Amino acid sequence: MLDFRKRMRSSARRNQSRVALALDLVGPHENRVSKAIGLLNDLVDKVACVKINQHLILPFGLQGLRELLQICNRKDVPVIADLKLNDVESTNLEAVDTLYKMGVDAVIANPFVGFDEGLGKVIERSRGIGKGVLLLVYMSHRGAKEGYDMKVDRKSLWRIFAQRVRSWNADGAIVSAKSPYRIREVRRMLLEDQLILTPGVGYQGGDAKKALDAGADMVIVGRSVIDSPKPGRALEEFRLLAQVP
């Protein structure tokens, strides 16, 4: 059984892509799942992984996303649930057990909640069955600095979170593409095989090439592809920028 980190890199090599496709669909709820499935049928062989969040999970639940998850599972393209887990241990474990049972491969969690009775057993259980936990280190919206740049004992919170990725042996970090400097610093702090996925590319102004050159492993792309009149062409542009070395 490959661990999550190896599965992610294997998928990237197989599909010659370091793009994580974010299915952050908006618009009429009755159209979202069918649109997501249509996008996946066209693009699943051209991405390293797929990210789903509350845009789909909240209105439809995992049962309603069964076909979407099966498409990814059949192609061995990992699915990441972007729920930013931030609760007590029992609730976090219930969440990941349900997600994994339904075919999700990894979850994004908030390290602020802590290790003991927070995320420690979540990470341990996930790694034991080849699943993944990615920790939120720096977000891509303008207000991110109001939280992640706060100082604790003269150290920025995002640096503390990056250290937790390493010391907790999480599978990787989420770091904004709009801050290549932070990506570079986080890369320096992590273990060699820990992943960096970077959101904020394209629509939010992040530069995919700069993020990857700074040390990101994959770029998370959503609206620039899924809202494009030609999603395949839009994805290919990012795919060329994010070629697998």
Marked catalytic residue, from 84, 121, 209, 210: 84
57: left (phi over 0), alpha (psi -120 to 50) or beta: alpha
**CB 122 within 8 Å of CB 88:** no
Q: Which two tokens stand for residue 43?
A: 């693009």
* H-assigned helices in 77-156: 89-101, 120-128, 145-148
Q: How many CB atoms lie within 10 A of CB 48?
A: 27
**CB 57 within 8 Å of CB 83:** yes
Kindly tell me the burial class for residue 197, based on how many C-beta atoms sit within 10 Å of its own C-beta (0-12, 13-18, 19 or more): buried
**CB 218 within 8 Å of CB 9:** no
HSE, side-chain direction, 13 A CA sphere, residue 65: 28
**Residue 78 CA from chain centroid, whole number:** 10
* Catalytic annotation present for 84: yes
Contacts of 55 by beta carbon, 8 Å cutoff, 6+ apart: 23, 24, 25, 26, 32
**CB 17 within 8 Å of CB 217:** no
Closest CA to 42 of 238, 226, 242: 226
Q: Which residues are catalytic?
A: 84
